[in-house]
Structure formats: structure tokens, C-alpha cells
Structure 1
Amino acid sequence: MNRTLVIGDIHGGLKALVQLLERAKVTPDDELIFLGDYVDGWSDSANVVSYLIELAKQNTCIFLRGNHDDLTHKWLKDGELNDQWLQHGGQTSIDAYRKFSKEEKEKHTAFFEEMVNYYIIKEEKLFVHAGFTNQKGPTQEYTPIPFYWDRTLWEMALCIDPALQPGDIGYPKRLELFKEIFIGHTPVTRVGRDKPFKAANVYNLDTGAAFKGKLSLMDVNSKEVYQSDEVWTLYPEENGRN
């Protein structure tokens, strides 16, 4: 039976990604939705992109744009440097591309340009790297920036009283727009979790792969979860973004 699988923030951890897909026994029949942040972290940032380009030749893949992808894309395309980006993993991506040819970099630049800001299944399930701010939904967002930078959606979901239900007074209108929302961007390790965590109707798949956590995958329908080893153990000579 074909599955729809959603994968959290990779941050250059190609070894973890390969391990994860093997553990989930992914086949070409599975649809894969990647929540963004493929780069900036471990040394395989550029290799992750190469791997995903090839993976998309055998699987239906949806590649969402993360904030780190946006920053790396700007550097690849125009040479734009951002001090905060360099301090938060950008340097690892620059180093990862040193051995790549001009043609390879151009191919990767095209991959970044083709990413999407959000993905919706049957008007019920929303997939987005970070969030959105418009109460009428992502299609009405004034700028694409919230899609890969916003943290308020997740912070709001964490604050909701579990007893509060859609339709109740005080239930956030943004969350009523979709049955389920899948995000990454903010590691759940910040709230003491090590597996994908649900708050209200928001599932957060960022399990801290860039730091001391694991890379995670979830079956969108069954909610079955698969995880890699802690990514730092696969790159013992590196610091990642720690």
C-alpha cells in the first residue's frame, strides 16, 4: 500500500537520512514530503541535496523551503552572505560546496529555486516548514517569509488548553483552517521531547537532528514514527550546530 511520509529537518545529515529511509523501508511507491532545512549543520549538506535530486527520480517528492535553504540558495545564486547564517550552520554549507563544480552548483541552485513554500492535501492537511500568520490561511499570506521563519504557530499550539476544541471561543482561527498541520523549524527537544510531538493539531517533526537529536519520519495517515540514530553519533568528528 502506498504511503505518504513526512520527514523532518535534515541539516546536512545524509547518513541519518539514508539510515532513516532504510528503517522505514521506503519504496518507490511512497510519496515523500520533506519539511525543509536540508543544509547547514553536518558536513554532508551539499551531498544531501545531490541525494534528494536523485531520490526524486524514483519517488514522488515534495520539497518544502526552509529558512536555511533560503539562505544557502541566496549564497549559491548571488554570493549573499549573512553573519547570522554563517554562525548558525552556514559555514558548514560553504565548506561542503568547496569540491563541487560550477555545473553541480547550478544544478543545486535550480533545486533550491523549485522548492515550494507549503503543500496542502485535500484542503485538510497542511505541510509547511515553519508556519503562517494570515488568519485566512497560507494562500492569503502577504509575504513568503513566515512560511520558513515563523515560530508563532508552534508557540500558539503549545499554549492551547487541551480541553479547548475547534469552534470553541478562544480557539485560534489559524488552527481551524486545517485538520492537521505538519511543521519543522523549531526542535521539539526545546520542550523536552525526542520524538515528533503534537500540540493541538500541529505535528512538529524537527527532533533536533542539527544538534544532539535524531532525524524523524512519520506516516501521515497511520502516524507511525521512524527515527535515525542520534545524528551526532554518525558524525563523531564533527560539532554540527552545537
Structure 2
Amino acid sequence: MGRTLVIGDIHGGFKALKQVFERAEVTEGDQLIFLGDYVDGWSESSQIIRFLIELSGKQRCIFIKGNHDAWCEDWLSFGGGPDVWLFNGGKSTVESYNGYSSEDLELHLEFFQRMKNYYVDENNRLFIHAGYSSMHGPEKEVYSSNYRWDRTLWETAVAMDKKLQRNSELYPKRLLLYHEIYIGHTPTQDIGICHPVNKANVWNMDTGAAYRGSLSVMDIDTKEFWQSDPLPALYPQERGRNNDI
């Protein structure tokens, strides 16, 4: 049996994905779980989707849908997108699709449509892009958009007293539902850390690849992780989603 590797937000950084796969020595025997936000930011969003489609034909992959992926799916479906998307990396995604045939666009759309909102493995580990607010778990979530937008799950884990035990009546009920929870969406740089972070039983894998950070891959059993170079170093002529460089 190979490893189970979880991959954080990529945001169009195909160079980073290839580099971190090399550093992690990914093989076809590994199971790969992607936490979403494959597109929007750096210039190679469409190339990433093409690569992932091909990769899924070679080994077991699970693709979670992020908020940026939902925006891109809408654009592929209807030919337009909101200004907020274009200003937050969507413009580079649209440009990366220049020259694609209608057949290729349809193939990519189908790939987005097949992505999961979340995934729970046989060891009761949850993989979701952002979070959920229901104390009964994501399957009871009233607003499905929380799968891709919620930050309160991570904020709760970060704010918890480290001395609080799982058997305490004060322990957040929604965290007790799973052995571990893996998320992206909220950069770890928000709390001053540039590598995958564990708070309570939540692991945050978004290490800021959309901005000045790196792309991260982690073995969920051993907790060993690998990172690419910071994305601005791999795309020195681009801004990604940075507004100040």
C-alpha cells in the first residue's frame, strides 16, 4: 500500500505542484487528496486541470471543490463570471484557457462537476475545502456554500484553550465528529506560520500558495510534509493574487 497524501490550495501554480511532487517523491501507488482551489492566481490554471485529469487516470485521486473552483465551473458553464472572481485571480484563469477547443472546455467542465464537496475516509478523517458550521457535521449543513467559504471551523480551533480536553462539555461539538479534519481556504500566514498547522484536531494545509507562500503536501499518517519554493520565486514576472508586488 502506498501513502495517502493531502495537497493544499494550488491557485494556478503548476510549477509548484510539479516541484513539490518531486520533493515528496509521489508515485502511482500513493493516494492523493486535493483540498481544492486549483485555479485563480498564477498563470497556469488550465494546465493544472489538464494535468489532474490525466493524473486521475493513473492513480487514485480525490478532488475536493473550493470556492475558486466553483467560480471557474460557473464560467465554463455560462461563459461569464462576477467581477469579484476576476479581481481575485479569475482573470489569469480565463487567460490560461485561450486557444482551448470547445471539446477541451467541456472536458474540464465535467471534471469540475465531478469534484466532491467533502470526503470522509475509513478512519473517520474529514477532508473539506473550508469548513462547516453545523454541530451535526457537513451532511447536515444548511448552507452548502459553507463547504467552500466557512472560516469559523478554523477560527474555533485556533482560539481553543490548549488545555481543553475532548471529554469536556465545552469542547466544540462539531470537532468531536471526526478523528481529524483537513482543510485549506484560510492561509496559515494569517497566524504567522508558513507550513501546515495543527490546531485541536484540525490540520490547515493552505500555506499561502496564492500569495507569497509555498504549496504543501503532507502524509496524513506520518505527518511528514514537503513544500515547494515560495510561488513568487517560481513566477517572478507575475503577481499571483498579491496586490502589493
Q: TM-score range by the shorter chain?
A: over 0.9
CA-to-aligned-CA distance 1:173-216 (integer Å, 9 cap, x gap) = 00000110000000001111010001111000000001000000
Residue 98 of structure 1 and its aligned partner are, at CA, apart by 1.4
The one-letter code matched in structure 1 to 2:208 is G
For 2:49, the equivalent position in structure 1 comes to: 49
Is residue 203 from structure 1 mapped to residue 203 from structure 2 by the alignment?
yes
Spell out the pairing of 1:1-242 with structure 2 (5 A cutoff): 1-122=1-122, 124-242=124-242
Q: Distance in 2 between matches of 1:156 and 1:143?
A: 19
Q: Distance in 2 between matches of 1:144 and 1:49?
A: 23
Identical columns (%): 52
Residue type of the alignment partner of 1:109: L
Matches of 2:233 and 2:56, distance apart in 1: 27
Moved more, 12-21 or 120-129: 120-129
Displacement, 1:75?
A: 0.6
* Superposition TM-score, scaled by structure 1 size: 0.98
CA distance in 1, matches of 2:123, 2:228: 31
Offset at residue 123 of structure 1 (A): 5.3
Q: Deviations over 1:50-103 (max 9, x none)?
A: 000011111100000000000010011012321111111111111111121111
Give distance in 2, aligned partners of 1:165 and 1:74. Answer: 43
- Alignment: residue pair count: 242
Query: Which runs of at least 4 in structure 1 moved beyond 4 Å after TM superposition?
Result: none
TM-score by length of structure 2 reads 0.97
Amino acid at match of 1:147: Y
In structure 2, what is the Cα distance between the partners aligned to 1:168 and 1:83? 45
State the superposition RMSD in angstroms: 0.9
CA distance in 1: counterparts of 2:175 and 2:23, whole angstroms: 32
Alpha-carbon distance between aligned partners in 2 of 1:137 and 1:126, rounded to the nearest angstrom: 10
Q: Which letter does structure 2 place at the counterpart of 1:240?
A: G
Deviation at 1:122, TM superposition (A): 2.0
SS in 1 for 2:232: helix
Alpha-carbon distance in 2 for matches of 1:163, 1:80: 49
Distance in 2 (CA, whole Å) between partners of 1:107 and 1:132 is 30
Give the match's secondary structure for 1:32. strand
Q: Distance in 2 between matches of 1:51 and 1:85?
A: 23
Separation in structure 1 between the aligned mates of residue 153 and residue 130 of structure 2, nearest angstrom: 8
Q: Matched residues in 1 for 2:209 and 2:112: separation? A: 21
Paired residue type of 2:53? I
